[in-house]
Structure 1
Amino acid sequence: MAEIKTTDISPAEFMERNREPITFVIIDVRERIEFQTFNIGGQNIPLGILLKDPEELEDLKNKEVIVICQHGLRSETARRFLFMNGYKNVRNLHGGIMALRKLNY
């Protein structure tokens, strides 16, 4: 059985894993204007929308999902919410996009 991960993923691990063919789903929970200004890909679902309708992601319940935001705070809220709603393999990008940018991602 695969290990259940519900913790942070470090920026360095995220970068390393992103060099391989992507085996996880990225959900960016920032507001649309933030996403349009700068993003690293993934699906943009602002936190307020995600909290109202987690069923929109129902097909991702058994996949690895990495939630991201600017600093890692909103994405941690999203991670906890998704975990409480049955998503068993959800990770938060520790430090968010700002931490990735410090590593020149």
Structure 2
Amino acid sequence: HGASQAKPKKVAGTAALSLNFVLVVIFVVVVTFMSFMFGIAAISELNYYGGWFKKEPLDAVTLQWFVNSMLPAILILALVDVTAYIAVRIRSIVASN
């Protein structure tokens, strides 16, 4: 039938890069969920129980609470952002070659 065209060669390690990207996506989803749960738990620490049917206000935000409870959630979310950026950047560099 017509001249057969040569198939483009696959770069060695393409399957490994695809698997790596899938694992990074799973990591990003799981750690994002974990970060939000840490944040919700940190905010719920500010609540205190005032007894039956008593609606008490939240405790004041202190530096100790922020460093011990909220900062880990923020740092984990920053880790997710950096990881996702690096993964997408590597993926785009590989795709352009």
Provide TM-score, normalisation by structure 2: 0.26
The structure carrying a bigger strand percent of its residues is 1
The structure carrying a bigger helix percent of its residues is 2
